[in-house]
Structure 1
Amino acid sequence: MSERPPTQHELLAFYLEAGVDCALAEEPVNRLSETEAEPAPMRATPVRERPAPLPVPRTDVAPAPDVAIESARELAPQAKTLDELRGLLEVFDGCALKMTATRLVFGDGNPQARVMFVGEAPGRDEDLQGIPFIGRSGKLLDLMLASIGLDRTSAYIANVIPWRPPGNREPSPHETQMCLPFIRRQIELVDPDVLVCLGKPSSQAVLELKDGIVKSRGRWFDYNTGTRMIRAMATFHPAYLLRQPIYKRMTWKDLRMIRRALAALPPRESA
């Protein structure tokens, strides 16, 4: 018995999962058609042609990865404030992801928060609005924060990669290394008391952990902000929990550890 053809809804869902989120033409094009376009007719009589324009140097080509990584390491420490860091990212052309993304996704929440959450990279919704963790995964993160008495006014949220990879693919190691100096500087400027890495890529990039997230989660690590050591933890990414809800129980244990750590902090001295 032959399988039934997919419905339009199933096809659209497949395209969305594959990263196809916009149309390039009003009518569909059959790329597998054997019919070839007829060649343009040749001019019967030669006419005087204009001279070919001089080639214009391309400005949308990213530099070599090693050069871009070194440039990021030199630029990021120059930012004295989060606004300056955002400005540096706006003009940084070392990462090719910037050329395919809609906009920069820098950070959200309270820059003076005592806890900071760091994910991997923006998705489609984040790319369209320029805000990290919105859409389905963002709603789940908001629920996770609310379960321990937090929200976006009492936490700060960012990503290792500030531009969406095409089709929501995983960032390459070079792309991660290009962006790592900027997220490290972002953590230094926020200067939280507790740092939470969401997911394996974030924990391996920021905390330099070698194990997977299942082994790494639920433990405290030390993170050096450059001026002091702070407590850091890895837990599951909300997007992963949407696919694997069985791990929500473990995440709840991690969230309670974070709540206890925040509750034990002494009050901050007023400036």
Structure 2
Amino acid sequence: MDQANRELEALLDFYLASGIDCLLETDPVDRFAETARRAERRAGEQMFRPSDRQVQGPGPAAAQSPLSRMPGADRPLPQTAPHSISSNPAAQPQGGEASGGGASAVLPNASVVESARDAAGNASTLEELRACLEGFDGCNLRLTAKNLVFADGNPQARVMFVGEAPGRDEDLQGKPFVGRSGQLLDRMLNAIGLDRSGAYIANVVPWRPPGNRTPTPQETEICKPFIMRQIELVKPDILVFLGSASAKTLLGTQEGIRKLRGRWMNFSTGNAEIACVATYHPAYLLRSSLEKRQSWQDFLSIKQKLAEKRTN
């Protein structure tokens, strides 16, 4: 019975760490499919709508139109508008998009991911990469986030920490790990003789998902080229994944954090091999204090690895 309770508690902790703190609907809803259906309905209405010369006002023909009797046909539909992610036309995503409230939402597809790769690859400095992200409109999270959360700390640092996505406090301040979990991370850094001047901190996804929900696989895939390029430009000696989400995304593994943590691996940028390790996310440790001992062991291992790199 104790084992079952522990497993249930671990599952609830996982949901909370993923941003799932309430149940809104019993069944999943594909919002992108809804947007596509509304766009198709609107195109159909325009196809069968009589011209101004044929109908001067709301007559019997319009009242009897089958499309006018469809559920939701009286609601306004999104208008389509062109967009670009940069001044380079070749870098513009080819996916369809829908507009809401004057902002443009993009349907995530392979061409948008390819556009993200092209845009990230063209950045030769961190400043250019940040400017590229600020002008990038291929990820819909930008429509609901208040600020781009690019990075914090020292770009010249020898150790880089990567989390999954910013939360509410990070979104408000535009810096990663500044809320309660960030304060815990600062204390953990201090315990091994580091602070933010000796570390560089970023997230896989630089915009806060609405309600702190978990980023979708499509959102993560679109943002992945930017964090990959960020790692290449920082060139840290050591890369630390905070939580399983960032580790799974960047290492391409499906192993959970309990199997990944504390195990030194190599991360390849294509041009260099970087020593990397995963540990528990500070937000998870705030709810599972029993795991802090293991995280302390991980941070001691990071301290030792930094010392070894320094002597080499």
Letter in 2 for 1:123: G
Equivalent position of 2:163 in the other structure? 119
Are residues 18 and 83 of structure 1, via their aligned partners in 2, closer, same or farther at CA, if it must alter by over 3 Å? farther
Unaligned runs of 5+ in 2: 1-20, 24-56, 58-78, 82-98
Instruction: Output the CA distance in 2 between the equivalents of 1:241 and 1:56.
Output: 45
Give the percent of matched residue pairs that are identical in Structure 1 and Structure 2: 57
SS at match of 1:171: coil
Which of residues 68, 91, 109 in structure 1 aligns to 2:112? Answer: 68
Equivalent position of 1:225 in the other structure? 269
Instruction: Output the CA distance in 2 between the equivalents of 1:246 and 1:165.
Output: 28
User: C-alpha offsets along residues 48-76 of structure 1, whole Å, 9 cap, x if unaligned?
Assistant: 9xxxxxx7834512143322111111111
CA RMSD of aligned residues (A): 2.2
Does 1 or 2 have the higher relative contact order (CA < 8 Å, sep 6+)?
1
Equivalent position of 1:252 in the other structure? 296
Which of residues 129, 133, 144 in structure 2 aligns to 1:85? Answer: 129
Instruction: Output the CA distance in 1 between the equivalents of 2:184 and 2:286.
Output: 8
Instruction: Output the CA distance in 2 between the equivalents of 1:61 and 1:118.
Output: 27
Give the TM-score of the pair, scaled to structure 2.
0.67
Instruction: Output the CA distance in 2 between the equivalents of 1:160 and 1:56.
Output: 29
Q: Deviation at 1:226?
A: 2.6
- Deviant stretches of 4+, over 4 Å: none
Which of residues 193, 200, 206 in structure 1 aligns to 2:244? Answer: 200
Write out aligned runs for 1:28-39 (5 A): none
SS at match of 1:132: coil
Write out aligned runs for 1:1-271 (5 A): 57=81, 58=99, 59-266=103-310
SS at match of 1:266: helix
Q: Which moved more, 1:87-96 or 1:222-231?
A: 222-231
Instruction: Output the CA distance in 1 between the equivalents of 2:295 and 2:117.
Output: 33
Letter in 1 for 2:300: R
Instruction: Output the CA distance in 1 between the equivalents of 2:311 and 2:203.
Output: 27
The answer to whether the 8 Å contact 1:160/1:176 transfers is: yes
Unaligned runs of 5+ in 1: 1-16, 20-47, 49-54
Instruction: Output the CA distance in 2 between the equivalents of 1:56 and 1:188.
Output: 36
Equivalent position of 1:34 in the other structure? none
Are residues 18 and 123 of structure 1, via their aligned partners in 2, closer, same or farther at CA, if it must alter by over 3 Å? farther
SS at match of 1:61: strand
Letter in 1 for 2:111: V
SS at match of 1:197: strand
Q: Deviation at 1:243?
A: 1.1
Q: Deviation at 1:207?
A: 1.7
Letter in 1 for 2:118: E
Q: Deviation at 1:266?
A: 3.1
Q: Which moved more, 1:61-70 or 1:180-189?
A: 61-70
The answer to whether the 8 Å contact 1:107/1:156 transfers is: yes
Q: Deviation at 1:121?
A: 0.2
Equivalent position of 2:13 in the other structure? none
Are residues 267 and 107 of structure 1, via their aligned partners in 2, closer, same or farther at CA, if it must alter by over 3 Å? farther
**Higher helix proportion (structure 1 or 2):** 2
SS at match of 1:127: helix
Letter in 1 for 2:116: A
Instruction: Output the CA distance in 2 between the equivalents of 1:56 and 1:117.
Output: 39
Instruction: Output the CA distance in 2 between the equivalents of 1:56 and 1:164.
Output: 25
Give the TM-score of the pair, scaled to structure 1.
0.77
Instruction: Output the CA distance in 2 between the equivalents of 1:208 and 1:157.
Output: 20
Q: Deviation at 1:175?
A: 0.4
Are residues 88 and 264 of structure 1, via their aligned partners in 2, closer, same or farther at CA, if it must alter by over 3 Å? same
